[in-house]
Structure 1
Amino acid sequence: MQTRKLIFPLLFLAASLLTSCGGSEDTSASNESMEASTSSEGTSSDDPAATMEKAMSDAMKQLGGDGETKEVVDFRELKALLPERIAGMDRTSHTGEKVGAMGFKMSTAQAEYGDGEQSLDVSVIDFAGVSMILASAAAWSSVEIDKETDSGYERTTMIDGYKAFEEYDSKRKEGQVSIIAEDRYIITVEGRNIEEGALREALDAVSIDKLKGLE
Protein backbone atom coordinates (compact mmCIF):
# COMPACT_ATOMS: atom_id res chain seq x y z
CA MET A 1 0.00 0.00 0.00
CA GLN A 2 0.91 3.67 -0.27
CA THR A 3 2.03 3.85 3.36
CA ARG A 4 4.72 1.20 2.92
CA LYS A 5 6.08 3.08 -0.08
CA LEU A 6 6.45 6.23 2.03
CA ILE A 7 8.57 4.67 4.77
CA PHE A 8 11.61 4.49 2.49
CA PRO A 9 11.50 8.18 1.46
CA LEU A 10 11.18 9.01 5.17
CA LEU A 11 14.30 7.01 6.03
CA PHE A 12 16.22 8.43 3.06
CA LEU A 13 15.29 12.02 3.90
CA ALA A 14 16.18 11.53 7.56
CA ALA A 15 19.58 10.15 6.61
CA SER A 16 20.18 12.99 4.13
CA LEU A 17 19.30 15.62 6.69
CA LEU A 18 21.52 14.00 9.26
CA THR A 19 24.43 14.14 6.80
CA SER A 20 23.79 17.78 5.98
CA CYS A 21 23.41 18.72 9.62
CA GLY A 22 26.74 17.12 10.36
CA GLY A 23 28.44 19.19 7.65
CA SER A 24 30.77 22.17 7.72
CA GLU A 25 28.52 24.34 9.87
CA ASP A 26 28.72 21.95 12.80
CA THR A 27 32.32 20.85 12.21
CA SER A 28 33.95 23.80 13.98
CA ALA A 29 31.64 23.46 16.98
CA SER A 30 32.36 19.75 17.14
CA ASN A 31 36.10 20.33 16.89
CA GLU A 32 35.99 22.96 19.63
CA SER A 33 34.08 20.56 21.86
CA MET A 34 36.59 17.80 21.24
CA GLU A 35 39.54 20.12 21.86
CA ALA A 36 38.02 21.33 25.12
CA SER A 37 37.40 17.79 26.25
CA THR A 38 40.90 16.67 25.29
CA SER A 39 42.58 19.57 27.05
CA SER A 40 40.65 19.10 30.27
CA GLU A 41 40.72 15.31 30.51
CA GLY A 42 43.37 14.20 28.06
CA THR A 43 40.85 12.08 26.10
CA SER A 44 37.91 12.86 23.86
CA SER A 45 34.46 12.43 25.38
CA ASP A 46 32.61 13.23 22.16
CA ASP A 47 29.44 11.11 22.14
CA PRO A 48 28.28 10.14 18.59
CA ALA A 49 24.75 9.42 19.83
CA ALA A 50 24.48 12.84 21.46
CA THR A 51 25.85 14.50 18.34
CA MET A 52 23.28 12.69 16.20
CA GLU A 53 20.43 13.64 18.53
CA LYS A 54 21.43 17.30 18.48
CA ALA A 55 21.77 17.31 14.68
CA MET A 56 18.32 15.82 14.21
CA SER A 57 16.82 18.21 16.76
CA ASP A 58 18.27 21.17 14.86
CA ALA A 59 16.98 19.76 11.57
CA MET A 60 13.49 19.29 12.97
CA LYS A 61 13.42 22.91 14.16
CA GLN A 62 14.43 24.11 10.71
CA LEU A 63 11.88 21.90 8.94
CA GLY A 64 9.05 22.69 11.30
CA GLY A 65 9.26 26.37 10.52
CA ASP A 66 8.06 27.54 13.94
CA GLY A 67 10.85 25.88 15.89
CA GLU A 68 8.50 23.36 17.47
CA THR A 69 8.45 19.62 17.01
CA LYS A 70 4.87 18.36 17.02
CA GLU A 71 3.90 14.85 18.08
CA VAL A 72 2.05 12.72 15.57
CA VAL A 73 -1.54 11.69 16.27
CA ASP A 74 -2.16 8.28 17.81
CA PHE A 75 -2.76 5.92 14.89
CA ARG A 76 -5.81 4.50 16.71
CA GLU A 77 -7.54 7.85 16.24
CA LEU A 78 -6.72 7.77 12.55
CA LYS A 79 -8.09 4.24 12.23
CA ALA A 80 -11.41 5.47 13.60
CA LEU A 81 -11.77 7.70 10.52
CA LEU A 82 -11.97 4.70 8.19
CA PRO A 83 -15.52 3.24 8.08
CA GLU A 84 -16.51 -0.42 7.84
CA ARG A 85 -17.96 0.06 4.35
CA ILE A 86 -16.91 2.32 1.48
CA ALA A 87 -18.33 2.70 -2.03
CA GLY A 88 -20.40 -0.47 -1.64
CA MET A 89 -17.40 -2.53 -0.48
CA ASP A 90 -16.85 -4.13 2.92
CA ARG A 91 -13.66 -3.53 4.86
CA THR A 92 -11.39 -6.59 4.70
CA SER A 93 -8.43 -5.33 6.75
CA HIS A 94 -7.85 -2.48 9.18
CA THR A 95 -4.37 -1.65 10.49
CA GLY A 96 -2.33 1.19 11.96
CA GLU A 97 1.15 1.96 13.22
CA LYS A 98 3.62 4.65 14.19
CA VAL A 99 7.08 4.52 12.62
CA GLY A 100 10.12 6.72 13.03
CA ALA A 101 13.67 7.21 11.88
CA MET A 102 16.33 9.44 13.44
CA GLY A 103 13.82 11.73 15.11
CA PHE A 104 11.26 11.82 12.29
CA LYS A 105 7.92 10.14 12.90
CA MET A 106 4.72 9.37 11.06
CA SER A 107 1.46 7.82 12.20
CA THR A 108 -0.57 5.79 9.75
CA ALA A 109 -3.92 4.04 9.42
CA GLN A 110 -4.86 1.82 6.50
CA ALA A 111 -7.91 -0.12 5.41
CA GLU A 112 -8.60 -2.41 2.48
CA TYR A 113 -12.04 -2.84 0.95
CA GLY A 114 -13.22 -5.37 -1.59
CA ASP A 115 -16.13 -6.86 -3.50
CA GLY A 116 -15.21 -9.60 -5.95
CA GLU A 117 -12.60 -8.25 -8.37
CA GLN A 118 -13.04 -4.70 -7.08
CA SER A 119 -10.73 -3.35 -4.39
CA LEU A 120 -9.87 -0.09 -2.68
CA ASP A 121 -6.94 0.80 -0.40
CA VAL A 122 -7.43 3.82 1.85
CA SER A 123 -4.75 5.38 4.04
CA VAL A 124 -4.44 8.35 6.38
CA ILE A 125 -0.91 9.49 7.24
CA ASP A 126 0.18 12.14 9.75
CA PHE A 127 3.59 13.80 9.32
CA ALA A 128 3.00 16.26 12.18
CA GLY A 129 3.41 19.28 9.94
CA VAL A 130 7.02 18.65 8.89
CA SER A 131 6.62 20.32 5.53
CA MET A 132 9.77 19.01 3.88
CA ILE A 133 8.82 15.38 4.53
CA LEU A 134 5.26 16.08 3.44
CA ALA A 135 6.53 17.55 0.18
CA SER A 136 8.77 14.54 -0.35
CA ALA A 137 5.92 12.08 0.20
CA ALA A 138 3.47 14.07 -1.97
CA ALA A 139 5.67 15.62 -4.64
CA TRP A 140 2.58 16.58 -6.65
CA SER A 141 1.71 19.19 -3.99
CA SER A 142 4.39 21.58 -5.26
CA VAL A 143 3.74 21.28 -9.00
CA GLU A 144 0.86 21.73 -11.44
CA ILE A 145 -0.18 18.66 -13.43
CA ASP A 146 -2.85 18.50 -16.14
CA LYS A 147 -2.47 15.55 -18.50
CA GLU A 148 -4.94 13.56 -20.59
CA THR A 149 -4.48 10.41 -22.68
CA ASP A 150 -6.82 8.23 -24.74
CA SER A 151 -7.60 6.20 -21.64
CA GLY A 152 -7.33 8.56 -18.71
CA TYR A 153 -5.83 11.56 -16.97
CA GLU A 154 -3.53 12.90 -14.25
CA ARG A 155 -4.15 16.26 -12.61
CA THR A 156 -3.61 18.39 -9.57
CA THR A 157 -6.70 20.14 -8.31
CA MET A 158 -8.57 21.28 -5.18
CA ILE A 159 -11.07 19.11 -3.33
CA ASP A 160 -13.11 20.71 -0.54
CA GLY A 161 -10.48 23.42 -0.25
CA TYR A 162 -7.54 21.00 0.01
CA LYS A 163 -4.68 20.43 -2.43
CA ALA A 164 -5.36 17.20 -4.30
CA PHE A 165 -4.11 14.85 -6.99
CA GLU A 166 -6.25 12.58 -9.19
CA GLU A 167 -5.42 9.96 -11.78
CA TYR A 168 -7.51 7.33 -13.52
CA ASP A 169 -7.06 4.84 -16.36
CA SER A 170 -10.36 3.71 -17.88
CA LYS A 171 -8.81 0.78 -19.76
CA ARG A 172 -7.28 -0.79 -16.65
CA LYS A 173 -9.98 0.64 -14.38
CA GLU A 174 -7.33 1.77 -11.91
CA GLY A 175 -6.85 5.10 -10.23
CA GLN A 176 -5.92 7.18 -7.23
CA VAL A 177 -7.03 10.31 -5.43
CA SER A 178 -4.97 12.00 -2.71
CA ILE A 179 -5.39 15.15 -0.66
CA ILE A 180 -3.35 17.07 1.91
CA ALA A 181 -5.47 18.15 4.87
CA GLU A 182 -4.64 20.59 7.66
CA ASP A 183 -1.05 20.88 6.36
CA ARG A 184 -0.08 17.59 8.02
CA TYR A 185 -2.23 14.70 6.79
CA ILE A 186 -2.20 12.82 3.49
CA ILE A 187 -5.38 10.88 2.68
CA THR A 188 -5.02 8.51 -0.27
CA VAL A 189 -7.52 6.23 -2.02
CA GLU A 190 -6.20 3.70 -4.54
CA GLY A 191 -8.56 1.52 -6.56
CA ARG A 192 -8.38 -1.46 -8.91
CA ASN A 193 -11.13 -2.79 -11.17
CA ILE A 194 -13.33 0.12 -10.12
CA GLU A 195 -15.31 2.86 -11.85
CA GLU A 196 -13.96 6.39 -11.74
CA GLY A 197 -16.66 7.68 -9.39
CA ALA A 198 -15.78 5.12 -6.71
CA LEU A 199 -12.57 6.98 -5.87
CA ARG A 200 -14.31 10.22 -4.93
CA GLU A 201 -17.09 8.29 -3.21
CA ALA A 202 -14.52 6.50 -1.06
CA LEU A 203 -12.75 9.76 -0.22
CA ASP A 204 -16.05 11.35 0.81
CA ALA A 205 -16.67 8.43 3.18
CA VAL A 206 -13.50 9.17 5.19
CA SER A 207 -14.22 11.45 8.16
CA ILE A 208 -11.78 14.15 7.03
CA ASP A 209 -13.47 16.94 9.02
CA LYS A 210 -12.60 15.14 12.25
CA LEU A 211 -8.90 15.60 11.54
CA LYS A 212 -9.21 19.24 12.59
CA GLY A 213 -9.70 18.25 16.22
CA LEU A 214 -6.95 15.65 16.44
CA GLU A 215 -3.66 16.42 18.21
Structure 2
Amino acid sequence: MQTKHILVWSALFCAPLLLNCGGKTVEEKEEEEASVSAMGAVGALKEMATQAEDMQKNGTAKAVDFRSLKELLPTSADGLDRKEATGEKNGAAGFTISTATGKYANADDTETIELTLVDGGATPMVMGLAAWSMMEVDKETADGYEKTSTMGDYKSYEKYDNGDKSGEIAVLVNKRFIATAKGRGVSMDKLKDALEDVNLDKLAALK
Protein backbone atom coordinates (compact mmCIF):
# COMPACT_ATOMS: atom_id res chain seq x y z
CA MET A 1 0.00 0.00 0.00
CA GLN A 2 2.83 2.39 0.80
CA THR A 3 4.35 1.80 -2.63
CA LYS A 4 1.05 2.61 -4.33
CA HIS A 5 0.70 5.87 -2.40
CA ILE A 6 4.22 6.91 -3.32
CA LEU A 7 3.68 6.21 -7.01
CA VAL A 8 0.38 8.06 -7.12
CA TRP A 9 1.75 11.09 -5.29
CA SER A 10 4.90 11.13 -7.41
CA ALA A 11 2.96 10.87 -10.66
CA LEU A 12 0.68 13.72 -9.67
CA PHE A 13 3.61 15.85 -8.56
CA CYS A 14 5.72 15.17 -11.62
CA ALA A 15 3.13 15.18 -14.39
CA PRO A 16 3.23 18.96 -15.00
CA LEU A 17 7.02 18.87 -15.07
CA LEU A 18 7.18 15.89 -17.37
CA LEU A 19 4.48 16.81 -19.83
CA ASN A 20 4.46 20.63 -19.55
CA CYS A 21 0.94 20.84 -20.94
CA GLY A 22 -0.66 23.26 -18.44
CA GLY A 23 -3.68 24.73 -20.15
CA LYS A 24 -2.00 25.83 -23.40
CA THR A 25 -3.76 25.99 -26.74
CA VAL A 26 -2.77 23.69 -29.59
CA GLU A 27 -0.98 26.57 -31.26
CA GLU A 28 0.97 27.41 -28.12
CA LYS A 29 1.97 23.79 -27.69
CA GLU A 30 3.24 23.69 -31.26
CA GLU A 31 5.21 26.89 -30.78
CA GLU A 32 6.68 25.92 -27.41
CA GLU A 33 7.49 22.21 -27.35
CA ALA A 34 7.74 20.52 -23.97
CA SER A 35 11.26 20.12 -22.63
CA VAL A 36 10.49 16.59 -21.44
CA SER A 37 8.53 14.32 -23.75
CA ALA A 38 5.71 11.92 -22.94
CA MET A 39 8.15 9.10 -23.66
CA GLY A 40 10.35 10.47 -20.91
CA ALA A 41 7.37 10.58 -18.57
CA VAL A 42 6.68 6.89 -19.16
CA GLY A 43 10.32 6.06 -18.52
CA ALA A 44 10.32 8.12 -15.34
CA LEU A 45 7.22 6.39 -13.99
CA LYS A 46 8.76 2.99 -14.71
CA GLU A 47 11.87 4.03 -12.84
CA MET A 48 9.71 5.27 -9.96
CA ALA A 49 8.02 1.89 -9.82
CA THR A 50 11.39 0.15 -9.62
CA GLN A 51 12.57 2.48 -6.88
CA ALA A 52 9.34 1.99 -4.95
CA GLU A 53 9.90 -1.77 -4.99
CA ASP A 54 13.44 -1.26 -3.73
CA MET A 55 12.10 0.96 -0.95
CA GLN A 56 9.77 -1.80 0.14
CA LYS A 57 12.77 -4.12 0.48
CA ASN A 58 15.44 -1.76 1.78
CA GLY A 59 13.56 1.08 3.45
CA THR A 60 13.51 4.80 2.65
CA ALA A 61 16.44 7.19 2.87
CA LYS A 62 15.34 10.48 4.41
CA ALA A 63 16.22 13.77 2.78
CA VAL A 64 19.15 15.53 4.42
CA ASP A 65 18.65 18.67 6.47
CA PHE A 66 18.44 21.66 4.12
CA ARG A 67 21.14 23.36 6.20
CA SER A 68 23.62 20.77 4.96
CA LEU A 69 22.69 21.74 1.40
CA LYS A 70 23.03 25.46 2.19
CA GLU A 71 26.57 24.90 3.39
CA LEU A 72 27.49 23.73 -0.12
CA LEU A 73 26.27 26.94 -1.78
CA PRO A 74 29.36 28.94 -2.77
CA THR A 75 29.79 32.55 -1.65
CA SER A 76 30.20 33.52 -5.30
CA ALA A 77 29.18 31.88 -8.56
CA ASP A 78 31.83 32.35 -11.23
CA GLY A 79 32.55 35.86 -9.98
CA LEU A 80 28.97 36.88 -9.17
CA ASP A 81 28.43 37.70 -5.50
CA ARG A 82 25.82 35.82 -3.53
CA LYS A 83 22.91 38.13 -2.62
CA GLU A 84 20.72 35.62 -0.81
CA ALA A 85 20.75 32.04 0.46
CA THR A 86 17.61 30.24 1.58
CA GLY A 87 16.58 26.72 2.48
CA GLU A 88 13.52 24.72 3.40
CA LYS A 89 12.18 21.22 3.95
CA ASN A 90 8.68 20.22 2.86
CA GLY A 91 6.91 16.94 3.44
CA ALA A 92 3.98 15.01 1.99
CA ALA A 93 2.83 11.39 1.75
CA GLY A 94 5.39 10.26 4.28
CA PHE A 95 8.56 11.69 2.73
CA THR A 96 10.29 15.05 2.43
CA ILE A 97 12.16 17.28 0.01
CA SER A 98 15.00 19.51 1.15
CA THR A 99 15.96 22.52 -0.96
CA ALA A 100 18.68 25.17 -0.75
CA THR A 101 18.84 28.13 -3.12
CA GLY A 102 21.50 30.76 -3.66
CA LYS A 103 20.92 33.90 -5.74
CA TYR A 104 23.89 35.63 -7.36
CA ALA A 105 24.23 38.82 -9.42
CA ASN A 106 26.61 41.51 -10.56
CA ALA A 107 26.37 45.10 -9.33
CA ASP A 108 23.60 46.20 -11.72
CA ASP A 109 21.77 42.85 -11.89
CA THR A 110 22.37 42.50 -15.61
CA GLU A 111 23.87 39.08 -14.93
CA THR A 112 22.01 36.79 -12.55
CA ILE A 113 22.42 33.14 -11.57
CA GLU A 114 20.38 30.97 -9.24
CA LEU A 115 21.90 27.79 -7.83
CA THR A 116 19.50 25.21 -6.42
CA LEU A 117 20.27 21.98 -4.59
CA VAL A 118 17.43 19.51 -4.07
CA ASP A 119 17.31 16.25 -2.14
CA GLY A 120 14.23 14.05 -2.19
CA GLY A 121 15.95 11.14 -0.48
CA ALA A 122 15.96 7.77 -2.19
CA THR A 123 12.37 8.09 -3.41
CA PRO A 124 10.76 7.56 -6.83
CA MET A 125 9.89 11.24 -7.00
CA VAL A 126 13.52 12.19 -7.57
CA MET A 127 13.56 10.39 -10.91
CA GLY A 128 10.33 12.16 -11.78
CA LEU A 129 11.95 15.54 -11.17
CA ALA A 130 14.93 14.44 -13.27
CA ALA A 131 13.08 12.59 -16.03
CA TRP A 132 15.66 13.93 -18.48
CA SER A 133 18.24 11.63 -16.85
CA MET A 134 16.54 8.66 -18.53
CA MET A 135 16.35 10.28 -21.97
CA GLU A 136 18.60 11.35 -24.81
CA VAL A 137 17.74 14.87 -25.97
CA ASP A 138 19.53 16.81 -28.69
CA LYS A 139 17.60 19.71 -30.19
CA GLU A 140 18.78 22.91 -31.86
CA THR A 141 16.85 25.88 -33.27
CA ALA A 142 17.66 29.37 -34.46
CA ASP A 143 16.95 30.60 -30.94
CA GLY A 144 18.99 28.12 -28.93
CA TYR A 145 19.32 24.48 -28.01
CA GLU A 146 18.36 21.78 -25.54
CA LYS A 147 20.26 18.59 -24.84
CA THR A 148 21.25 15.93 -22.37
CA SER A 149 24.91 15.22 -21.81
CA THR A 150 27.31 14.60 -18.93
CA MET A 151 29.14 16.88 -16.54
CA GLY A 152 32.01 14.95 -15.06
CA ASP A 153 30.54 11.66 -13.87
CA TYR A 154 26.98 12.98 -13.73
CA LYS A 155 24.16 12.96 -16.29
CA SER A 156 23.23 16.52 -17.20
CA TYR A 157 20.50 18.47 -18.94
CA GLU A 158 21.02 21.89 -20.45
CA LYS A 159 18.85 24.40 -22.26
CA TYR A 160 19.81 27.83 -23.59
CA ASP A 161 18.10 30.76 -25.32
CA ASN A 162 20.41 32.93 -27.41
CA GLY A 163 17.95 35.84 -27.53
CA ASP A 164 18.02 36.90 -23.89
CA LYS A 165 21.07 34.86 -22.93
CA SER A 166 19.10 32.76 -20.49
CA GLY A 167 19.40 29.11 -19.72
CA GLU A 168 19.90 26.35 -17.23
CA ILE A 169 21.99 23.28 -16.58
CA ALA A 170 21.09 20.53 -14.13
CA VAL A 171 22.89 17.39 -12.98
CA LEU A 172 21.63 14.31 -11.15
CA VAL A 173 24.01 13.30 -8.36
CA ASN A 174 23.97 9.87 -6.74
CA LYS A 175 20.42 9.23 -8.03
CA ARG A 176 18.94 11.50 -5.35
CA PHE A 177 20.37 15.04 -5.51
CA ILE A 178 19.58 17.52 -8.28
CA ALA A 179 21.90 20.50 -8.66
CA THR A 180 20.74 23.26 -11.03
CA ALA A 181 22.16 26.55 -12.26
CA LYS A 182 19.73 28.94 -13.95
CA GLY A 183 20.73 32.33 -15.27
CA ARG A 184 19.89 35.36 -17.34
CA GLY A 185 22.30 37.64 -19.16
CA VAL A 186 25.03 35.00 -18.94
CA SER A 187 26.57 32.40 -21.23
CA MET A 188 26.15 28.66 -20.83
CA ASP A 189 29.86 28.43 -20.05
CA LYS A 190 29.33 30.78 -17.13
CA LEU A 191 26.41 28.68 -15.89
CA LYS A 192 28.57 25.56 -16.07
CA ASP A 193 31.39 27.28 -14.23
CA ALA A 194 28.94 28.43 -11.56
CA LEU A 195 27.64 24.90 -11.08
CA GLU A 196 31.22 23.66 -10.81
CA ASP A 197 31.64 26.04 -7.86
CA VAL A 198 29.38 23.61 -5.98
CA ASN A 199 31.34 20.65 -4.61
CA LEU A 200 29.30 17.90 -6.24
CA ASP A 201 31.39 15.15 -4.66
CA LYS A 202 30.55 16.49 -1.20
CA LEU A 203 26.92 16.68 -2.27
CA ALA A 204 27.01 13.03 -3.34
CA ALA A 205 28.46 12.04 0.03
CA LEU A 206 25.69 13.62 2.12
CA LYS A 207 23.49 11.23 4.09
Q: Same fold (TM over 0.5)?
A: yes
AA matched with 1:14: W
CA contact (8 A) 1:107 1:126 kept: yes
Pairwise CA distance, 1:80: 0.6
Q: Deviations over 1:81-119 (max 9, x none)?
A: 111111111101101111111212111111000112111
The 1:80–1:169 alpha-carbon spacing in structure 2 relative to 1, beyond 3 Å, is same
TM-score (norm 1): 0.70
**Mapped partners of 2:94, 2:173: distance in 1:** 23
CA RMSD, Structure 1 to Structure 2 (Å):
2.3
Write 1 or 2 for the structure with the bigger share of helix.
Answer: 1
Q: How far 1:147 sits from its partner (Å)? A: 0.4
Could you tell me which of 69, 86, 102 is aligned with 1:78?
A: 69
Whose relative contact order is higher, 1 or 2, with alpha carbons under 8 Å and at least 6 apart?
Answer: 2
**Which residue of the partner structure matches residue 9 of structure 2?**
14
In 1, the alpha carbon distance for the partners of 2:11 and 2:137 equals: 27
Residues 16 and 176 of structure 1: is their aligned pair in 2 closer, same or farther, counting only changes over 3 Å? Answer: closer
Q: Show the counterpart of 2:139.
A: 147
Structure 2 counterpart of 1:178, one-letter code: A
For structure 2, the residue ranges without an aligned partner over 5 or more in a row are 1-5, 13-50
Q: Is the 8 A contact 2:62 2:122 kept in 1?
A: no
Determine helix, strand or coil for the equivalent of 2:58.
coil
Q: In structure 2, what residue type is equivalent to 1:139?
A: A
> Could you tell me which of 159, 162, 187 is aligned with 2:151?
159
1:187 alignment partner in structure 2: 179
Deviation at 1:128, TM superposition (A): 0.8
2:108 counterpart of 1:122:
no
Separation in 1, partners of 2:138, 2:52:
35
**SS across alignment from 1:95:** strand
Give the corresponding residue for 1:96: 87
Find the residue that maps to 1:76 and give its secondary structure: helix
Q: Is the contact made by 2:151 and 2:171 (CA closer than 8 Å) also made in structure 1?
A: yes
Contact 1:61 1:67 in 2 (8 A): no
TM-score (norm 2): 0.72
Q: Shift in Å at residue 72 of structure 1?
A: 1.1
**Structure 1: distance between partners of 2:143 and 2:90:** 37
Point out the more displaced range, 151-160 or 64-73.
64-73
When the two structures are aligned, how many residues end up with a matched partner? 163
1:104, 1:122 → 2: CA distance?
A: 23
Q: Distance in 2 between matches of 1:143 and 1:89?
A: 32
What is the one-letter code of the residue matched to 2:81?
D
Deviation at residue 161 of structure 1 after TM alignment: 1.2
Distance change (3 Å), C-alpha of 1:61 and 1:188: same
Within a 5 Å distance, the mapping from 1:195-210 to structure 2 comes to 195-210=187-202
Q: Give distance in 1, aligned partners of 2:56 and 2:165.
A: 41
Question: Of the two, which has the highest radius of gyration?
Answer: 1
1:112 corresponds in structure 2 to 103
